[in-house]
Copies of this chain bind each other. A is one copy, B any other.
Amino acid sequence: MSVTGEYDVVVIGAGPAGENIADRAVRKGLTAAIIESELVGGECSYWACMPSKALLRPVTAADDARHVEGVQGATLDPAGVLDRRDGFASHWKDDGQVQWLAGAHIDLIRGQGRLTGPKTVSVNGTELRARHAVAVATGSDALIPPVPGLAEARPWTSREVTSAPAAPRRLAIIGGGVVGCEMATAWQALGTQVTLIARGRLLASTEEFAGKLVGDGLRQAGVDVRAGVSATAVHRAGDRGPVTLTLDDGSTVEADEVLAATGRTPRTTDIGLDTVGLEPGSWLDVDSTMRVTAAEGGWLYATGDVNHLSLLTHMGKYQARICGDAIAARAAGREPATTAWADHTAVPQVIFTQPEVASVGPTADQARAAGRNIRVVDYDLGAVAGSKLFADGYTGQARMVVDEDRRTMIGATLAGPGAGELIHAATVAVAGQVPLDRLWHAVPSYPTMSEIWLRLLETYGL
Contacts and interface: CB of A to CB of B under 8 A. Distances in A.
A425 interface: yes
B75 A441 contact: no
Given A429-B428, A429-B432, A432-B428, A348 B71 contact: no
Nearest to A390: B57
21 contacts: A50-B389, A53-B447, A57-B389, A64-B64, A68-B84, A69-B84, A70-B77, A70-B83, A71-B74, A314-B443, A315-B443, A338-B437, A348-B445, A350-B445, A420-B445, A420-B448, A421-B449, A424-B450, A427-B444, A428-B428, A432-B442
B80 A70 contact: yes
A441 B340 CA distance: 10
A332 interface: no
Interface in A428-462: 428-434, 437-451, 453
A430 B54 CA distance: 33
Given A424-B422, A427-B425, A431-B441, A447 B75 contact: no
Contact of A438 (B49, B389, B432, B438): B432
B422 A432 contact: no
A348 B421 contact: no
Interface in A18-61: 44, 49-50, 53-54, 57-58, 61
A444 B444 CA distance: 19
Contacts of A434: 428, 432, 434
Contact of A80 (B50, B65, B69, B358): B69
Contacts of A383: none
A151 interface: no
A185 to B, nearest CB: 14
A313 B454 CA distance: 14
A88 interface: yes
Centre residue among A50, A57, A80, A388 by max chain B CB count within 10 A: A57
8 smallest CB-CB distances across A and B, nearest first, come from A70-B81, A70-B80, A432-B434, A58-B70, A424-B450, A431-B442, A314-B446, A73-B73
A77 B72 contact: yes
Centre residue among A317, A422, A447, A449 by max chain B CB count within 10 A: A447
Contacts of A350: 445, 448
A343 to B, nearest CB: 6
Contact of A76 (B50, B70, B340): B70
A190 to B, nearest CB: 9
Contacts of A74: 62, 65, 71-74
Contacts of A306: none
A176 interface: no
A270 to B, nearest CB: 27
Contacts of A78: 70
B343 A441 contact: yes
Interface size class of A (residues with CB under 8 A): 35 or more
A350 B449 CA distance: 12
A385 interface: yes
Contacts of A427: 425, 442-445
A445 B423 contact: yes
A425 B439 CA distance: 11
Contacts of A53: 389, 447
Contacts of A67: 61
A418 interface: yes
A439 B439 CA distance: 15
Nearest to A351: B445
Interface in A82-100: 82-84, 87-88
Contacts of A65: 61-62, 64-65, 71, 74
A424 B384 CA distance: 15
A346 B443 CA distance: 8
A312 interface: yes
A64 B172 CA distance: 32
Interface in A385-404: 385, 388-390, 392
